[in-house]
Every structure is written in structure tokens, then in C-alpha cells.
Amino acid sequence: MGVEIRKLESVYQLTMVSTVDRPGLFAAVAGTLSSFGMNILKAEAFANLRGLLLDTFTFADPNRTLDLNPTEIDRLRTMTERVISGKMDVRELLRNRPKPALPARSARIHTRVSFDGDASGTATLVEIVAEDRPGLLYDLASAIAANGCNIEVVLIDTQAHKAIDVFYLTDGGKKLDPAKRGTLEEALTKACEPK
């Protein structure tokens, strides 16, 4: 397993390469970044047939924590490695995260969860459009893992307060059946609620 964090002009990028997959791994990395006050702008996760995982998170540091305290980059890397290896619980890190102010009611974005079983030959595409907030990606990935689904590929994008997250999911190595879709839609909608 390897975790690398580097600065790219005005944002940072965390890259994780691992040969060990487990339920909630993607959620754990997203949660760790959120617990440090980072704003995840984009994320991509891929796995190949040999079991090699590559997750990339592009994030902003709105409080300039990493810019003003360069040693925090090492601390963030170490915490991420500890969470990934199961030596630290990301939920403990998230408990102390300050709550952000919500945007005005007129700017609110209504949650939409949609499924497409034809977009891929091996997985079900799930698109979530929701109000962005700290910890949203962690909550969505945790809901997916809690429902026994595996994230094959994920692509996320953030536009102002709007999160657009696309997951390719399987359940037991197969596309999601209608019952699983219904249960997952409910869980994902709940995960998008303000905390």
C-alpha cells in the first residue's frame, strides 16, 4: 500500500495504490480527508483484474492548513495509512469535524439518485446529484458498503454546492437487482441529508 500527497497549483492530490480491497476502503480515505477539513473536488477509483486498486482524490485546503503547516502533509498521509490499515477508526476522526453553514434555501439542491443497468456490461451505474457538504462522499461510500455493494469505479465532481457522484457498483460480482436498487436508493438519499 502506498499513499502520496502532492500539491498541484491551487489544489492537492492524494493517490492511493493498494493490493488489498475491503468494504469501506474508499469511504475511509474520503472520511480522513474530510476530517482534516479538506474539500474533495474530484475523486476516481479503479481496480484491475489483478486486484490492484488506484484511488485519486483532488481536494482543496480552504483553511490553508497544509500550506501554512507543511508537516501536516506528513500527518495527513500517516493518518490515511492508519485508517486504510484499520489501525484508526475514521468515524472517530469525523466526530470532531466542525459543522459548516448551509447555503441559503434558494440555493439548495434537491437530491436525485438514478440507476442505469445498461451503461456497463458488468456493473450498475448510480448517479447521485446532491447538495455538497463535508463528509458527503464518506457517507455515500459508507452507505454503499453497508448495503453489501462493491464500488468498481467512481467519478465525482463538485460544482459550487452541487455534488455529482457517479458510481459503478456490483453486488456479489453482478449488476444490482431491482430490490437492491430500491434499498440502496433509500440509503443513498438518506446519506445526502444535511448532518
Is a pLDDT exceeding 80 seen at residue 50?
no
What is the rounded CA–CA span in Å between residue 36 and residue 96?
10
Chain centre to alpha carbon of residue 142: 9
Third-level CATH fold of 109-191: Alpha-Beta Plaits (3.30.70)
- Asked whether the domain spanning 109-191 has the same topology as the one spanning 2-95, the reply is yes
- The CATH code of domain 2-95 reads 3.30.70.260
Question: At 98, is the secondary structure helix, strand, or coil?
Answer: coil
> What is the helix, strand, coil percentage profile of the chain, to 5?
30, 35, 35
Is a pLDDT exceeding 60 seen at residue 116?
yes
- Rounded to a whole number of angstroms, the distance between the first and last alpha carbons of the chain is 32
> Tell me, what's the pLDDT at 98?
56
Give the strands of the sheet with 53-60, arranged side by side.
2-8, 11-18, 53-60, 39-47, 150-159, 162-170, 124-131, 112-116
Is a pLDDT exceeding 90 seen at residue 108?
no
Q: Which residue has the higher pLDDT, 100 or 40?
A: 40
In the chain, where are the structural domains located? 2-95, 109-191
> Tell me, what's the pLDDT at 105?
58
pLDDT category, 167, cuts 50, 70, 90?
Answer: very high
How high does pLDDT run on average in the chain? 89
Helix or strand (DSSP H, E) at 140? helix 136-146
What is the pTM assigned to this prediction? 0.80
What is the rounded CA–CA span in Å between residue 27 and residue 145?
8
